[in-house]
Structure 1
């Protein structure tokens, strides 16, 4: 029996750690990494660009809860994937990028080899939580352990492993290690203290971030016990859908700020308190948070904001522990009334244009229940990030916060659909952002995925144009001509529908596309649009 190569051992190590799918484009510098893939049972999905591989891995991770894995070549493969890695880091998404690198003896020499970079390892380190260089076969398993460690303990994000060309194909000498990393233990004294403070407060407000999206039942029970309105960041949307205590509005809105500032105790669960959620209008400040109790998996993150009580723990575990420590009898503090007033004021605050777009989102949600709604940076996504109550926990996410990378929506939707084949996926992209990654739709065709690609077509980068006009800058470069999406859909071999921006027409079209269970394009024509207005 032939001994396994390093590339084969890599694939075996990934499978042993629960990896069932990788996204990648093979090249001459990764051939040896693919040697054991076909026989492993791990699914391989081929994007059309390495950036697509990274965004697919991101969408897959957000929906599955497991790390998304991308295989990319040396040099341009890795540099093309840095943008998705940066988005994943900003949004705490577990992602592993495995790349080749030039032969060991050539590294840093500047000989001009194919795909050569001055220091690829150092470049990856600027974005990755951990970047591993496998210089010898016996280093592989320890490198895998270190690359997977951030996914189990601490705030997750992207990691990277690179294997030189002269190492990937030689015999592996490593054993198999799948050591799990445990998260921080719950500090019972801190939980008792937090429960005491919360039970004594008259007006509690909960801030829910992406770190608590897997604990919806405990969050709801906690909110009901404390009679506390729950303000959700973008990555927490879908929690407590339709509940009287839910506030599915951006904490940047003045209405939400006033609710938070009126509280005498604020409980922040799994939210980094970042400005793209809490200060998107760049005022330079966030709402004052009296008696702030903060729970986060990242100790460094806890230290970045002044906090009355900082609890280093998984937000989901802490929510359950707090619920158990609180008195059984629920508070009576007019929480539902406070939440209702905030919802109404926030909805009014976003203005008529965004309210119209939220009505479109509501129609989409109601047309296809429990769908995954994934977006790029485009107007209805901005509107929804300000105010939208989705009906599926973790089912609303996009790249319009955090790192803010355009081109995210289409490939991320593909990764999401692979993670949950039972769900219909609605991908919302502007005509401008869609042009960043339109060819990736062919990957959805290859995999026959149930995705409706909704193109919000107003012929340009409208939000940028509006921003330029707002400060008296002449609008330049905001009107790239979009393709004709009907013939584009025909070239992909998928159905195409075009509708006006009318909620019921959009809902009817979505119901039809979702019945097919295959990829399709639904174009929303923005009536009266002109170049430069999105």
Structure 2
């Protein structure tokens, strides 16, 4: 007999799922019956939150949905934070849980893992949450989930199956197969004509690129070069223009220099960006005023109506809209686009304090030492620096949890998921406080044989929060936390562990680490690294990291 649990696995395989992150429990073991021989790899985190962050990192790095199996009740509540982070950043994630059978579901009688209504909980951070009550509807629900991932604004989807349903006979159900997803929405012709007219009239255009443009790098580059327009990239949009491109501005749009660039533009094209305050108004000053015309490109019609009102809203797939728009605009001779972009980049770099400058230096050394690297950040000083001023080599190569929902503990499991999904060199960049939220996931990475690099930025506590409290005249309570011996802990998990003595050692340590079959933790003392970096600053600024490799 083929059970519904086995049929579920076969459906996932039909949709190209190659990895599932999960922790088996008595309420989910039937989902595991079909995994052997399915071609789907199972990765066991040490906490359901870790499973969700792994799925998130897998999805951001690959563009494919991350899939999780978790138990009912505490499995869902544990993974909720990771789902909310993915919801905030439009990350495709499929979370499949068990639930108590009808009659016990939400009964209030105290059954194992019982919640009053776990689907209602999941609705707060999903595109949709669905309870499968008949085996015949499972294929349709999976098809709906993958339609969201492929053709709409990608966000988590939650599907729950009653424990007794998982054991039923599925032999009579149709053979599992993938249903073709709906076409991605194309822009309306009349709106493209109107937008092209604004583009042709613009003298000082600027493009804002968000995470929705991550898979539209080529058409966005063509539009930027056609218009001679600087491209300001949010964190999730970094890499759509490569480092060194004269029109690229891989800097936060919340900085004074980028705000000035936006305000001086007579046309702003916002491609795949929601104008979220953590990107555009991080310092809560009101953000840039858009005094020129605004064209918004967004796959979500509701989001296109939130925040900044557009003169023209193109509700469409970003790549399709950019291609259609560029085709209607005659190329123009290069004017001052590169000069405007360069001035903004230089002004942002100039305002960095020593700690932020050291953080940018660290990330640039990683990028140059490992050209195909993926860097995944938590909330730590060098991550904040990267949010302000770091150019990723290509899209989906730099992301973090410091914007949007803003959870701690993200980087370590998310980096593991990114490495599993891509096989590319992957670096986790975390602080000593944040990494303690999910430190046991080192064991999961070791078990999976991942050559993951963990750069541990140690300032012996919650340094950013402590500085914030002191600046507001608040006694710093709860921030000077006990700092364990991270290198001993790493070795206890079977990982390699190093302490960085000077920045010049880092490239060799990185190259050695990615050749291993286990994670490597490299501890960096903030004070020592900042001091060493400051000594390298000469009259022309920080020496390029390529000269130190």
**Preserved contact between residue 52 and residue 440 of structure 1 (Cα < 8 Å):** yes
What is the aligned partner in structure 1 of residue 36 from structure 2?
38
Match of 1:320 among 312, 319, 323: 323
Q: Distance in 2 between matches of 1:47 and 1:470?
A: 38
Query: Which segments of 5 or more consecutive residues in structure 1 lack a partner in the other structure?
Result: 530-534
Structure 2 residue matching 1:37: 3-state secondary structure:
coil
Q: How does 1:115-194 map to 2 (within 5 A)?
A: 115-172=113-170, 173-175=172-174, 176=176, 178-179=178-179, 180-194=181-195
Alignment partner of 1:429 is 2:427? no
What is the aligned partner in structure 2 of residue 96 from structure 1?
94
Structure 2 residue matching 1:251: 3-state secondary structure:
coil
1:528 Cα deviation from its structure 2 partner: 6.3
**Preserved contact between residue 237 and residue 390 of structure 1 (Cα < 8 Å):** yes
**Preserved contact between residue 230 and residue 246 of structure 1 (Cα < 8 Å):** yes
1:79 Cα deviation from its structure 2 partner: 0.5
Q: How does 1:107-118 map to 2 (within 5 A)?
A: 107-118=105-116
Q: How does 1:289-328 map to 2 (within 5 A)?
A: 289-304=291-306, 305-327=308-330
Q: Distance in 1 between matches of 2:266 and 2:103?
A: 62
**More deviation, 254-263/519-528:** 519-528
Structure 2 residue matching 1:61: 3-state secondary structure:
helix
Q: Distance in 1 between matches of 2:291 and 2:5?
A: 51
Question: Cα deviations across residues 65-109 of structure 1 (Å, max 9, x unaligned)?
Answer: 111000000100010011010000000000000000112111121
What is the aligned partner in structure 1 of residue 354 from structure 2?
352
Question: Cα deviations across residues 452-496 of structure 1 (Å, max 9, x unaligned)?
Answer: 011101111111111111111110111221221121121122211
1:219 Cα deviation from its structure 2 partner: 1.7
Structure 2 residue matching 1:151: 3-state secondary structure:
helix
Q: How does 1:472-511 map to 2 (within 5 A)?
A: 472-500=473-501, 502-511=502-511
C-alpha distance 397-259 of structure 1, shift in aligned 2 (>3 A): same
Q: Distance in 1 between matches of 2:221 and 2:287?
A: 29
Structure 1 residue matching 2:94: 3-state secondary structure:
strand
1:126 Cα deviation from its structure 2 partner: 1.5
What is the aligned partner in structure 1 of residue 543 from structure 2?
none
Q: Distance in 2 between matches of 1:77 and 1:171?
A: 26
1:188 Cα deviation from its structure 2 partner: 2.2
Q: Distance in 1 between matches of 2:354 and 2:101?
A: 59
Query: Which segments of 5 or more consecutive residues in structure 2 lack a partner in the other structure?
Result: 530-549
Structure 1 residue matching 2:36: 3-state secondary structure:
helix
How much is the aligned-residue C-alpha RMSD, in angstroms? 1.5
**Preserved contact between residue 358 and residue 382 of structure 2 (Cα < 8 Å):** no
**Preserved contact between residue 102 and residue 165 of structure 1 (Cα < 8 Å):** yes
1:361 Cα deviation from its structure 2 partner: 1.4
Match of 1:375 among 374, 377, 399: 377
**Preserved contact between residue 260 and residue 288 of structure 2 (Cα < 8 Å):** no
Q: Distance in 2 between matches of 1:367 and 1:464?
A: 31
C-alpha distance 516-163 of structure 1, shift in aligned 2 (>3 A): same
Structure 1 residue matching 2:437: 3-state secondary structure:
helix
**More deviation, 168-177/452-461:** 168-177
What is the aligned partner in structure 2 of residue 222 from structure 1?
223
**More deviation, 308-317/287-296:** 287-296
C-alpha distance 326-124 of structure 1, shift in aligned 2 (>3 A): same
1:445 Cα deviation from its structure 2 partner: 1.1
Structure 1 residue matching 2:198: 3-state secondary structure:
helix
1:302 Cα deviation from its structure 2 partner: 0.4
1:517 Cα deviation from its structure 2 partner: 5.6
What is the aligned partner in structure 2 of residue 532 from structure 1?
none
Q: Distance in 2 between matches of 1:527 and 1:223?
A: 40
Structure 1 residue matching 2:438: 3-state secondary structure:
helix
1:509 Cα deviation from its structure 2 partner: 2.3
Structure 1 residue matching 2:440: 3-state secondary structure:
helix
**Preserved contact between residue 70 and residue 98 of structure 1 (Cα < 8 Å):** yes
**Preserved contact between residue 255 and residue 349 of structure 1 (Cα < 8 Å):** no
Q: Distance in 1 between matches of 2:178 and 2:63?
A: 18
**Preserved contact between residue 199 and residue 267 of structure 2 (Cα < 8 Å):** yes
1:350 Cα deviation from its structure 2 partner: 2.9
What is the aligned partner in structure 1 of residue 513 from structure 2?
513
**Preserved contact between residue 141 and residue 174 of structure 1 (Cα < 8 Å):** no
C-alpha distance 126-325 of structure 1, shift in aligned 2 (>3 A): same
Structure 2 residue matching 1:107: 3-state secondary structure:
coil
C-alpha distance 495-528 of structure 1, shift in aligned 2 (>3 A): closer
In the superposition, the TM-score normalised over structure 2's length comes to 0.93
What is the aligned partner in structure 1 of residue 448 from structure 2?
447
1:177 Cα deviation from its structure 2 partner: 5.6
What is the aligned partner in structure 2 of residue 247 from structure 1?
249
Q: Distance in 2 between matches of 1:253 and 1:105?
A: 56
Q: Distance in 1 between matches of 2:344 and 2:287?
A: 20
Q: Distance in 1 between matches of 2:106 and 2:34?
A: 30
1:132 Cα deviation from its structure 2 partner: 0.9
**Preserved contact between residue 186 and residue 321 of structure 2 (Cα < 8 Å):** no
**Preserved contact between residue 268 and residue 290 of structure 2 (Cα < 8 Å):** no
Q: Distance in 2 between matches of 1:435 and 1:140?
A: 38
What is the aligned partner in structure 1 of residue 414 from structure 2?
412
Alignment partner of 1:18 is 2:16? yes
In the superposition, the TM-score normalised over structure 1's length comes to 0.95
Q: Distance in 1 between matches of 2:48 and 2:381?
A: 26
1:522 Cα deviation from its structure 2 partner: 0.7
**More deviation, 378-387/315-324:** 315-324
**More deviation, 76-85/234-243:** 234-243
Q: Distance in 2 between matches of 1:92 and 1:219?
A: 20
What is the aligned partner in structure 2 of residue 386 from structure 1?
388
1:391 Cα deviation from its structure 2 partner: 1.5
1:220 Cα deviation from its structure 2 partner: 1.7
**Preserved contact between residue 150 and residue 157 of structure 1 (Cα < 8 Å):** yes
Structure 2 residue matching 1:311: 3-state secondary structure:
strand
